Structure 1
Amino acid sequence: MGLFSFLFGNKKNQTQQYINKGAIILDVRTQKEYDARHIEKATLIPLSELKSRLQEIKRLNKPVIAHCASGIRSSQATQILKANGVDVINGGGINTLKKALE
């Protein structure tokens, strides 16, 4: 097994485990990015609004898969959510997450 298949296979397995647990997909990109292209049924909360909307996410009482365009903002979102007691994984960039959801 090559490095990429190890890394991405693992991401796919982890993503599927979270989906099976009823996870929501949280898109932390901007509204403009979301409008141009998004994952079906993803919830949009831009990273700039995340801290002020934490209770909205916590009320859902579900695991979260955060994603953005490249994985940088979703990494930041993952750190914020984990620090606030949310069960979350970083889904990475939109293309990576779409592949993991296939």
Structure 2
Amino acid sequence: MKEISVQELKEKLNAGEDFQLIDVREDFEYETSNIGGLSIPLGGILIETDKVEKNKPVVVMCRSGKRSAAAIMQLEQQGFTNLFNLKGGILAWQAEIDPTINVY
């Protein structure tokens, strides 16, 4: 599974690169803190595959990296090859990029 660090994600955001960010946490988690990704909770990822881009890189994130890894495994079984797991999830983002963001 391909991974990306929070530093690499921040560089992509700052550079305005064309990619999709998907947050697979539950709605209440997303409402507590998010960095602007599309919210598709893990339980619905296979139902909403039509919302996942196929023609550009897709970074999948969650709280710590475990649920996003599970989402990527499910999507890769559907033929996706353009997915990257955000190592450490929102916890790593808070620790390394933005200490003011709420985590739980």
Q: TM-score higher than 0.5 here?
A: yes
Question: 1:66 matched to which residue of 2?
Answer: 60
Name which of 71, 80, 84 aligns with 1:89.
Answer: 84
Unpaired stretches in structure 1, ≥5 consecutive residues: 1-9
Q: Confirm or deny that 1:34 pairs with 2:30.
A: yes
1:39-85 residue CA offsets vs partner (Å, 9 max, x unmatched):
1x2110000000000112136x3211111111110111121223322
Select between 81-90 and 23-32 the one with higher mean Cα deviation: 81-90
Q: 1:15 to 1:70 in 2, by over 3 A?
A: same
Q: Confirm or deny that 1:75 pairs with 2:84.
A: no
Determine helix, strand or coil for the equivalent of 1:65. Answer: strand
RMSD across aligned C-alpha pairs, in angstroms?
A: 2.6
Question: 2:48 matched to which residue of 1?
Answer: 53
Q: 1:97 to 1:58 in 2, by over 3 A?
A: same
User: How far apart are the structure 1 equivalents of 2:42 and 2:91?
Assistant: 18
How many residue pairs are counted as aligned between the two chains?
A: 90
Q: 1:45 to 1:96 in 2, by over 3 A?
A: same
Q: CA deviation at 1:95?
A: 2.5
Normalized per residue, the structure richer in helix is 1
Query: Looking at both structures, which has the greater relative contact order when contacts are Cα pairs under 8 Å and sequence separation is at least 6?
Result: 2
Q: Confirm or deny that 1:23 pairs with 2:19.
A: yes
Unpaired stretches in structure 2, ≥5 consecutive residues: 99-104
Select between 78-87 and 63-72 the one with higher mean Cα deviation: 78-87
User: How far apart are the structure 2 equivalents of 1:82 and 1:18?
Assistant: 23
> What's the TM-score, normalizing by structure 1?
0.69
Contact preservation (8 Å) 1:11, 1:100: no
